[in-house]
Structure 1
Amino acid sequence: MTNPVSDHVDTNKSQTRKPDLAKVKVELRLFLSAFSVWDFLDPRKPWVLVPRGSPLGVFDFVPPVFREGPWAVLPIVYIASTVYLASFSTVYHCAKYGFENLPQGHYDAFTAPWYLNLAGFLWTLYVFCDVFVSGFGAASVATFTVQSYFLLCLRYGLSALAPFVESRKLAVVNELLRYPVLNQATITFVVFNAILAPVCLVCLVDGEKRKNFIKYCTNFRLIQLHCFNIVFAVYSGVWGSPQRSLQWTDLHAAAILTLQYGLFYIFILDRLGIHLYLIISPRTNVSLISWFLITAATLGLHSFWDDIIKKYGGYWDSSLTVAE
């Protein structure tokens, strides 16, 4: 979920001014250019590569317990166990069944669902590009929200391309993204709108800061990324592809992609002092709850979306030809 950045307030003029994104981008590029891949591999380097775990003082508001010091034991055990079990299960499942058990299909070109997939691709691509041009640029990809939105855009593109390219690999990738897109969009939508935003509103007692936060959260990009993302994900996963039951293969794909972000966060962003989601920092046992809930959500949403697809999917199947 995109990390909210409060607008600065000029106390002398009592006027609100927006952050200078151009300046922020320049400072960010200079900050990242100071590091190389070897810095993350060199055992002589400290784990946290920036002073006090706060680059340029941006994350000074994060309590030190979340950004400095060793990791707690229980989160380490849980994360390691989860990575091992997910990896072992995925390798075992793929070695035993491959992708032959994964139903594959797409709607023919120039049909109603195909046009909607094309429109979905063009719109999500526009929003994704807008994040780069008008937002924080490539740095936005470091957030779970934008990575999830990229998967959504990619699936729409593959669904629109499928009728023109007879490629089994493309069809497999398209179907493998079906549940991960639904899973990550649901997590993003619920966590931001039901947890993060309400908590921030309660904590922001200053009227001006609260007003700025509401204005920030309701701008075009964040509305698309945090609210309309679930609408586009539901169409893509439920109606935009032929109806089928979700398989264990879908669950493995979602688990691996979600773990990928979690590991990227704790092994890359955490070392750079970029604390977008401090509740998953493994330095305290609080993260144990967060990691468990993410795992439980991925498992539970698999059954939830499977039921939704069985009940409401296949809207177009009775009247249109489905290419297998």
Structure 2
Amino acid sequence: FTYHKEVLQGLIIRMSSKVAEKGSLESVRNLLKFLDVVPLQYKVGPWSPAAHITIFAYAAFIFLSMSYAVKAYTPPDYTQIPNDWIQTYRLVGALYGFALTALVYYASGIWMLGSYTLTSWNLMSLRLFFSYLAGHAVPGAGLVADLLRYPSLIGCTVTVTVWWIILVPLIDFLLSQGKSREDRIFFWKWNLAPVLINVHLLNLPIIAIDFLASGVALTFFDLWVALTVAFLYCMFYLNVLDPRGLHFYIIFSPRTVYCAISYALILS
């Protein structure tokens, strides 16, 4: 027993060290090396006044509209399942989502989970999981599922549309203007990897099926929660990821007056 315990402890230590090495800030920066073609002025330097104004306006709206959101909330009964298969779908979807998150964590570490893409994926997985629990009348699960309903749906929608319609063409164009053809080839291999296809494309139909099958109409409460979650992520990105050089999304840069447009599109 002692021998097996020591072997297990050694394995855990080696796995933890491997995750720590892969998940270091420097390793994530190296993974994003192909984004070096983005002008430095969008990565470092003072924020544009437009960023401060837009952020303040959104914070004020969220605070002032909170009471209206609370009044609009009507908890649905998750035990009244409109489709028999939806519970199985939610459980399988949640477990699949958690497994992929664990794979990303093991391969890339904790910092990669800070991306909007993985955040949306995790919100989706949690939504499916708590909806499943609410279907079995687990106390409190219904409220959590309601809080995650629209943020998970809109998060996956934004991820898919912004990634494929804006970011992929933009990154490909910038890389095509560079001297190194290898960076462009690396980007497309990375972009079409199975994990990336899951979190950048399959996430939307997965959560859309749950939403459509539930038959629950959206209210102002759902919109308010989604805006609040988007705002909180924006604050996390600007105050935690951006200062550490993790520029996952150049359209989040607060150093240009055009950030007001990108923030308005993303937060709304």
Q: TM-score, length-normalised on structure 1?
A: 0.68
Alpha-carbon displacement from aligned partner over 1:76-103 (angstroms, at most 9, x marks no partner): 111111111112212x2256x274x343
**Secondary structure of 1:115 counterpart:** helix
Q: Distance in 2 between matches of 1:30 and 1:127?
A: 21
Alpha-carbon displacement from aligned partner over 1:112-163 (angstroms, at most 9, x marks no partner): 22111112112212211111123x1211121000011001000111122223
Matched residue, 1:251: 223
Matched residue, 1:173: 144
**Structure 2: which amino acid aligns with 1:227?**
L
Matched residue, 1:70: 46
Matched residue, 1:47: none
**Structure 1: which amino acid aligns with 2:113?**
V
Equivalences for residues 1-324 of structure 1 within 5 A: 25-26=20-21, 29=24, 61-90=37-66, 92-94=67-69, 97=71, 99=73, 101-107=74-80, 111-134=84-107, 136-167=108-139, 169-205=140-176, 207-239=181-213, 241=214, 243-295=215-267, 298=268
1:28 deviation in Å?
A: 5.3
Q: Distance in 2 between matches of 1:30 and 1:244?
A: 41
Check the 8 A contact 1:107/1:114 in 2, yes or no.
no
Distance 1:212 1:233, change over 3 A: same
Q: Distance in 1 between matches of 2:119 and 2:85?
A: 28
Distance 1:210 1:94, change over 3 A: closer
Check the 8 A contact 1:104/1:172 in 2, yes or no.
no
Q: Distance in 2 between matches of 1:293 and 1:244?
A: 25
Distance 1:238 1:259, change over 3 A: same
Distance 1:291 1:138, change over 3 A: same
* 5+ residue gaps, structure 1: 1-21, 33-53, 299-324
Larger fraction in helix: 2
* 5+ residue gaps, structure 2: 1-16
Q: Distance in 2 between matches of 1:30 and 1:78?
A: 29
Check the 8 A contact 1:109/1:160 in 2, yes or no.
no
Alpha-carbon displacement from aligned partner over 1:178-212 (angstroms, at most 9, x marks no partner): 11111010000011111211222233335443332
Q: Distance in 1 between matches of 2:109 and 2:82?
A: 34
**Secondary structure of 2:243 counterpart:** coil
Check the 8 A contact 1:87/1:256 in 2, yes or no.
no
Q: Distance in 2 between matches of 1:200 and 1:220?
A: 19
Q: Distance in 1 between matches of 2:105 and 2:22?
A: 16
**Secondary structure of 1:276 counterpart:** coil
Q: Distance in 2 between matches of 1:109 and 1:259?
A: 33
Alpha-carbon displacement from aligned partner over 1:203-224 (angstroms, at most 9, x marks no partner): 3335443332221111111010
**Secondary structure of 1:70 counterpart:** coil
Check the 8 A contact 1:114/1:160 in 2, yes or no.
yes
1:274 deviation in Å?
A: 2.1
Q: Distance in 1 between matches of 2:135 and 2:43?
A: 49
1:278 deviation in Å?
A: 2.4
1:273 deviation in Å?
A: 2.6
1:27 deviation in Å?
A: 7.3
Distance 1:154 1:24, change over 3 A: closer
Distance 1:23 1:113, change over 3 A: closer
Percent identity, aligned pairs only? 28
Check the 8 A contact 2:69/2:220 in 1, yes or no.
no
Q: TM-score, length-normalised on structure 2?
A: 0.81
Q: Distance in 2 between matches of 1:268 and 1:140?
A: 13
**Structure 1: which amino acid aligns with 2:244?**
L
1:277 deviation in Å?
A: 1.6
Q: Distance in 2 between matches of 1:203 and 1:30?
A: 24
1:245 deviation in Å?
A: 1.5
Alpha-carbon displacement from aligned partner over 1:241-267 (angstroms, at most 9, x marks no partner): 2x1211110001100111111011111
